[in-house]
Copies of this chain bind each other. A is one copy, B any other.
């Protein structure tokens, strides 16, 4: 249901006179279309018997091998058999839910948390345990306290089993924050102690502008408690719909059986195209180039926020990825305000309440800097700042009249 908020916002982005920070899409200006075109031709012409044909449900072995090598280099020793390719990582979320979640099971989610993950689990009638995050990501101390309290309560009455913990550890969607190394370790300890699986969803991790990469949560995972989700949608091209999950071979097999009933297999063409892009070094050079682009866009937006936003607001500072998270004065209702922001200042955002499972977060908004052209970022933040200042002064007049 709440996903509809985002969809409506996306539609606004299609109106030419509106500056929208709603959609967290990659910037199409970054796509190396010439180079991809030449490779796409080869993939169809010389590899058509593979690229145009049905492929294995688990994905093309050569792409699974590329991912396994990459994961191994990043501290997660891994075989191709532990990799399942999916239609973007959204499908991985759906398949995990399909295979593991029974109605009433509890899924731990971040507050705020990625809406696509929340809706994937919600579709299988999961209950949610929302845990706040701060500038270092999920508050694992709060999670531990909640798990303990729950255990105490459970002695009296039956309650749903805590099955999964869903986190986006790097440059989180929607908040932009990154989970600290200490909390990553802690989370894996909690998973082992309380017997739940951690879903580490990492579509943005490689798009780091500064500072050093945190180790993957899965790198601390000795007992197969962590399922790692990756994607080519942000670092390469979402239109190919290629994501992946890395986990114990048995889980990969179960998910492959579920995938077979879901869509038989993913696009061979998209997979083969990525294999050939990788072989030619195009993925690596593309990543370098988008890091530059998105760092510049992040800087522009942060500068504009500093210049144009009212002092009553504050925001996160992402070290990578696509998003900045803004907290407005408590009395503000971002969802209710959105139509006025569009009508009065022709600027759009995603209201933050959609990312909370408990009805809170009304005074928050997500801003994506990934897609807007540079000059629009500055102009749009200026418009939004103007709008917010107007709202604040309207409120002040109303209060002083009373």
Q: Residues of A with Cβ closer than 8 Å to B? A: 3, 7, 25-26, 28, 31, 33-34, 36-46, 48-55, 86-88, 90-91, 94, 98, 116, 119-120, 122-123, 233, 237-241, 257-258, 260-270, 272-273
Q: Give the 5 A-B CB pairs with smallest separation, nearest first.
A: A37-B45, A33-B48, A239-B268, A41-B41, A52-B237
Copy number of this protein in the oligomer? 2
- Of the residues B3, B26, B268, contact of A261 by C-beta under 8 Å: B3
Given known pairs A261-B123, A267-B241, A267-B267, the reply for A49 and B31 (CB within 8 Å) is: yes
Q: How far is the CA of A98 from the CA of B123 in the complex (A)?
A: 9
Q: Which residues of B contact A44 (CB under 8 A)?
A: 33, 36-37, 39-40
Given known pairs A38-B41, A87-B263, A267-B270, the reply for A123 and B258 (CB within 8 Å) is: yes
The reply to whether B239 and A53 contact each other, CB–CB distance below 8 Å, is yes
A32 to B, closest residue via Cβ: B48
* Further contacts, 20 of them, CB under 8 A, given A33-B46, A52-B238, A53-B238: A3-B257, A25-B54, A28-B53, A31-B48, A37-B40, A37-B43, A37-B48, A55-B239, A86-B263, A87-B87, A88-B263, A88-B264, A90-B263, A91-B262, A98-B123, A119-B260, A120-B262, A239-B267, A240-B269, A269-B273
Q: Is the interface of A mostly helix, strand, loop or mixed?
A: helix
Q: Which residues of B contact A264 (CB under 8 A)?
A: 88, 90, 116
Q: How far is the CA of A239 from the CA of B45 in the complex (A)?
A: 14
13 residue pairs A–B, Cβ–Cβ below 8 Å? A3-B261, A28-B48, A31-B49, A36-B52, A37-B45, A38-B45, A41-B41, A87-B87, A240-B267, A240-B269, A241-B266, A267-B267, A267-B270
A233 to B, closest residue via Cβ: B54
The reply to whether B41 and A25 contact each other, CB–CB distance below 8 Å, is no
- Of the residues B37, B46, B49, contact of A42 by C-beta under 8 Å: B37
Q: How far is the CA of A238 from the CA of B86 in the complex (A)?
A: 16
The reply to whether A94 and B261 contact each other, CB–CB distance below 8 Å, is yes
Q: How far is the CA of A273 from the CA of B266 in the complex (A)?
A: 16
